[in-house]
Structure 1
Amino acid sequence: MTRAENAHKAPRTRIVDALIALVLWAASTLSLLVFADGGFSLRAIVIVGGLSALLTLPVAFRRSHTVASSALVAALFLVQAAIGFPLLPANVSLLIVVHALAYYAPRWASLGGLGLAYLGVVIAFFRYDSLLFVNEMNTLMRAMVWLLTAALISAAWLLGNVQRSRAALVRELTERARRLEYEQQQERALAAAEERARIAREMHDIVAHSLSVIVTQADGARYAAVNQPEIAPQTLGTIAATARESLQEMRRLLGVLRQDEVMAMGPAPDLATLDSLVAELAASGLSVSLAKGSTRSAPHRLPKGAELAVYRVVQEALTNVLKHAGPGVTVAVSLDWEPRGLLIAIIDDGRGAGADPTPEGGGHGIRGMQERVALYGGSVVAQPRLGGGFAVHAWVPFEER
């Protein structure tokens, strides 16, 4: 139960406890009307009402001041027994405080209160037996009455103890549910962050590659419009096709963010679409070749996600060639199927170390390649080549069949 629920429930429980104490006090005081022999006086009413009030008042505080109220009831009972004052209906408060000790008090107070209650039964047996029973009553019957009293005390304590255990179980389950809900929220937040990072990588690959191709084609079209007008329409067609394909990929990617709409989801790029990627870049004027090794000897396969990662690595590397390698560059892409995985190499003869500088630690594209491949247990190394050019090597392990 939460603190707010306890605060909301506290006024109601105090009212209930006060009503119980009031009813018990009234019953004890009015008992003079039934049990008083030869009438009753104002003095008797004051005495009985006062003692009943002292015995029942702690009941109103049995939840908030359990140990103190129970100790007060025990002390009053001892005083009552010591002076030989007759038992009253208010003495039923003993059962109520024993229950409260078992439910609300610490364990030492609960067990101690139970022991004191049993001791009170023994004291009452010797102190009130001759007052409560006529001499002709069977001794066994008397013993049964006091044993029944002890049984009522035991039942009150057991009921409180069971309620205590149940309340502890409810608190534990509530806390466990709260922790599980918090952990689920954390997992959802981590999943959302991972999805945003994945989408950011995808968007970077699509936008960077497409804009690089479009810029290269636009520069070529501007030159061709002056010197070779017949080439300009073909170049503009390549620009339109590249932009259209990129727009389609972006729509497919962003479709995962629209849960309330049904969108056409095209297949994700894989190794089979590398040919079209290379053809697209070759059409833009880049001298690029693709060599695929035979897959017959490969005993394993790549997951679909790993094939997409390989596609994006090649795409990012070729985009970097367009942006940084300089004019007249030649680039070779090769896929070699090794016994434990796929080795990808993208090697160009461009400016290499003299390429446009990137931020410290590498650009987002190289970091994105490394993150993608690392998800499947692979690695990426991108660095300038000795003697000129730049090389990107990636290795992706196979998935067991």
Structure 2
Amino acid sequence: MQQNVFDKLVAWTRANTLLLDAFSALLLTLVCAGTATATGAGAVLVSLLMCVPLALRRVLPEVSGALVAAGGLLQPVLAGEPQTANLAVLVSLYSLAAYAAPWASRGGLLLGLFGAVVAPARYVWPYSGLASALALVLFIAVLVVATWLLGSLRRASRQNERALLERARLLENERENESRLAATAERQRIAREMHDVVAHSLSVIIAQADGGRYAAAANPAAAAEVLGTISATGRQALADMRNLLGVLRQGPGDERAPQPDAGQVADLVEQVRASGLDVELEVVGGERPLPPAIGLAAYRIVQESLTNVLKHAGPGARARVEVRWDPDALRLGVDDDGRGAAAMVAPSPGGQGLVGMAERARLHGGAVTSGPRPGGGFRVRATLPYASPS
């Protein structure tokens, strides 16, 4: 709570620098002009000339510095003694070093050092001697250089802050671009596999069906053979389509393996638990038959989520899988109490990752959301309607 209030105060301060500088300049002007009245009108004029421009010390630092310098140079002429307004010189010098152009910053330093010589020569040497004047010159010079160095450090800090903000912006743009490219690559991969795996089988079916129409009239036995070919090719096409929707097949020799579905999530959880991850499963509602593609997508989403837990959650992490059979859709949830944001790494080349899970769900009219959990860990939520979009 205190940190939140502090952050708001810092944000308000940064958004109202002109107002704060104007208020500070007004207070300093009232103090300095009030003390200068005892010296005379010239001293009051010098105080006004040196203090009022500080209201613009951050928005127009060069103009503000020039006016303060003019007041400082006129002080030996118009004022009979040093004025409290000399504090404005240090404020202006700091502002020049922190906010002005480099030439103005260096010019302010030179003028400050010049004033360190002129002021003791005008006000100290005639009355206290050369030694006292030299000591004061040294003191003022050190004060001027120290103030200028503090302003330069502030300039470096501001430049570093701007560089970090720019870097964060570029990294955010890069992450968004990589996500878009990953999604595009996933769609292209599905399209390529659809063409390579399915197009040939469908072409054979169409050709056999066209030939069977003419063969049926003259040779019924040939028509039966054509229908057998169509049946066999259709079954193979269905198997190929299921393989296509699987998208990822990690190991060789999996091509003829039965495709898993949502009913096998319990077996998957047992398999992952046997690998050492503490994972529990909760099933809500009664299981219902699903189209093979949707069942495969549900299984793969849970599988990918648990794989991410194994990879990124860290040692000692625990996971929980929820399978909810709602009236309109199958809803899946995978939560863990591990490192959280580490699971948001970009998918490796050829891998599905979070982008692949989202593409699987979108293919069937569903959606996947994922992100760090409050208090630590990572969460994946998926919704798969029972009927694919037409």
Report the equivalent of 1:66.
61
- Following TM superposition, by how much is the alpha carbon of 1:184 offset from its aligned partner in structure 2, in angstroms? 4.4
Task: Kindly indicate whether residue 7 of structure 2 is the aligned counterpart of residue 12 of structure 1.
Answer: no
1:235 and 2:226 are equivalent in the alignment: yes
Candidates 104, 108, 115, aligned match of 1:109: 104
Deviation of residue 204 (structure 1)? Answer: 2.2
Instruction: Map Cα deviations across residues 354-374 of structure 1 (whole Å, 9 max, x no partner).
Output: xxxxxxxxxxxxxxxxxxxxx
Any conservation in 1 of the 2:43–2:79 contact (CA below 8 Å)? no
Structure 2 counterpart of 1:282 = none
Relative to structure 1, the CA distance from residue 49 to residue 233 in structure 2 (aligned partners, 3 Å threshold; closer, same or farther) is: farther
Percent sequence identity is: 43
Look up the SS of the partner of 2:299 in the other structure.
coil
Correspondence for 2:32: 28
Alignment of 1:2-401 (within 5 A): 12-31=16-35, 44=40, 48-129=43-124, 135=128, 143-230=134-221, 232-256=223-247, 261-263=298-300
- Post-superposition offset of 1:214: 0.6
Per-residue CA shift, 1:2-28, capped at 9, x if unaligned?
Answer: xxxxx9977500011112211211221
| Aligned counterparts of 1:232 and 1:223: Cα–Cα separation in 2 | 8
Note the C-alpha offset of 1:102. Answer: 1.0
User: Aligned letter for 2:60?
Assistant: H
Higher RCO (C-alpha under 8 Å, 6+ residues apart) = 1
Residue 19 of structure 1 aligns with an amino acid whose one-letter code is: F
Query: Structure 2-normalised TM-score?
Result: 0.54
Structure number, greater radius of gyration: 1
| Residue of structure 1 equivalent to 2:367 | none
Structure 1 residues 220 and 187, CA gap change in structure 2 (3 angstroms):
same
Quick one: structure 1 residues 252 and 50, their matched pair in 2 at CA, closer, same or farther if it must change by over 3 Å? farther
Contact map agreement 1:102 1:164 (CA 8 A) in 2: yes
CA RMSD of aligned residues (A): 3.6
Aligned-residue offset at 1:84: 4.0
CA contact (8 A) 2:42 2:79 kept: no
Partner deviation per Cα, 1:79-113 (whole Å, 9 max, x = no partner): 11123432222211101111111112222221121
Change in Cα spacing, 1:19 to 1:255, as seen in structure 2 (3 Å) is: farther
The alignment partner of 1:59 has SS state of helix
Aligned partner of residue 86 in structure 1, secondary structure? coil
State the 1:183 CA deviation. Answer: 4.1
Is this contact kept in 2: 1:24–1:89, CA < 8 A? no
The aligned amino acid for 2:144 is: I
Q: Gaps spanning 5+ residues in structure 1: where?
A: 1-6, 265-304, 306-401
- Structure 2 residue runs of 5 or longer lacking an equivalent are 1-10, 249-293, 302-349, 351-390
Shift of 1:230: 4.6
Corresponding letter in the other structure for 1:75: A
